[in-house]
Structure 1
Amino acid sequence: MTQPTAHTILHAGDAQATDLVTLTYDERFLRRKVLTTVQGDRFLVDLEHTTSLDHGDLFLLTDGRCIEVIAAEENLLAVTGPDMPRLAWHIGNRHTPCQIEADRLLIQRDHVIMAMLSHLGATVTEVSEPFTPEGGAYGHGRTHAHEHGNTLHTHSHDHTHSNGHSHDDGHHHPHDH
């Protein structure tokens, strides 16, 4: 018997799901992989390009079934503080995926970012919850790490300040070209 395959992604509300697959934020960025549903059925994901999936998206299988993507619980940091815009700016400046809520920010656990935020006056609490961060500004679904094909491109951010000196922030990203 041939394993059902998903070549197509549907958005939430486009079809009725017959089963669910629970994936972490990192697992929701894929092109080709065998997944197992909560009911124990296996299927192959074989997409044309690496794709960022959102909570609620659906895999359309070759046998006609639809499998809904559910955001898995993950180990996160809940960030609160008196100057939330400033904290959000520092998180974004480090290209850290961030779930923005009315009274807190959620990010993946990272001891370096945790120390930086604490130093800035934030209250940082470890939590375990589903993680559905904001997508990229240009609709890619990810703030970075867009890789299409097998080409990895890196760049650095060279910032020049009004006082005439510049610095390289030293981080590099894979980019699609």
Structure 2
Amino acid sequence: MKLTNVIGNIESADYYAETVEWIELDWEELNKRILRKFTTKGREIAIILEEQGLQYGDILYQDETSTMAIRTKSEPAYVIRPASITEMGKIAFELGNRHTPCIIEGNEIIVRYDRTLEDIFAKTGVAYVQTEKRFKQPFKYKGHHHHDEHAAAASTHAHS
């Protein structure tokens, strides 16, 4: 079956839970335009979208007996629960220093599983639990280019 359009989202659509066939993606796949997958009920599908980007809950097919929607695969994660603004600052600094992508929901910070983070949790004294999560959006890696800024600054100073 070939699916080419997002026709709605599970959050705002009428459907019967027992009729949903989930198309499970790794969170990185949410940004892809072309995918070949199987639904949770075993149907093979090809997703071919004109525009890039899927979201958790996007409906790609619906009829009287079936709804096919996107969800992310459950994967290991840490849920960090800072007890104070001081703990929040310390853990945010450490995660940012490592360029660790995170999601903030309420008073929790959620990061993908990485065993080496446990040393940081111990160092900062922050409470955390290891769990499984379905991420609803891809993590955004915000790289920076110190070398460009420094090179530009050096160039400006050299010409002054």
- Mapped to 2, the partners of 1:15 and 1:27 lie a distance apart of 26
Q: Could you tell me whether the CA contact under 8 Å between 1:106 and 1:131 is conserved in 2?
A: no
CA contact (8 A) 2:102 2:109 kept: no
Tell me what 2:43 maps to. 41
Q: TM-score, normalised by structure 1?
A: 0.60
How far did residue 109 of structure 1 move?
A: 0.7
Consecutive unaligned residues of structure 2, counting only runs of 5 or more, are 150-160
| Aligned equivalent of 2:9 | 11
Deviations 1:89-143 (A, max 9, x none): 6545625032x3334222101234443343222223221232235xxxxxxx652
Which of 101, 118, 125 is residue 122 of structure 2 equivalent to? 118
In 2: Cα distance, 1:126 partner to 1:60 partner:
34
The Cα shift of 1:73 comes to 1.6
| TM superposition score normalised by structure 2 | 0.65
Shift of 1:76: 0.6
Aligned-residue sequence identity (percent) comes to 15
* Structure with the larger helix share: 2
Is the aligned partner of 1:156 residue 2:145?
yes
| Matched residue SS, 2:50 | strand
The match for 1:170 is: none
Q: Structure 1: where are the runs of 5+ without partners?
A: 134-140, 146-153, 161-177
Asked if 1:96 is matched to 2:101, the reply is yes
> What residue is the counterpart of 1:75 in the other structure?
76
Task: Indicate the SS of the match to 1:28.
Answer: helix
Distance 1:102 1:18, change over 3 A: closer
Hey, what's the Cα distance between the residues in 1 that align with 2:147 and 2:9? 38
Whole-Å Cα distance in 1 between the matches of residues 133 and 41 of structure 2? 22
The farther-off stretch of 70-79 and 21-30 is 21-30
Specify the alignment match of 1:32 in structure 2: 34
Alpha-carbon distance in 1 for matches of 2:79, 2:113 = 9
Segments of 4+ moved more than 4 angstroms: 14-18
Once superposed, what is the RMSD of the aligned Cα atoms? 3.4
Cα distance in 2 for residues equivalent to 1:92 and 1:47: 34
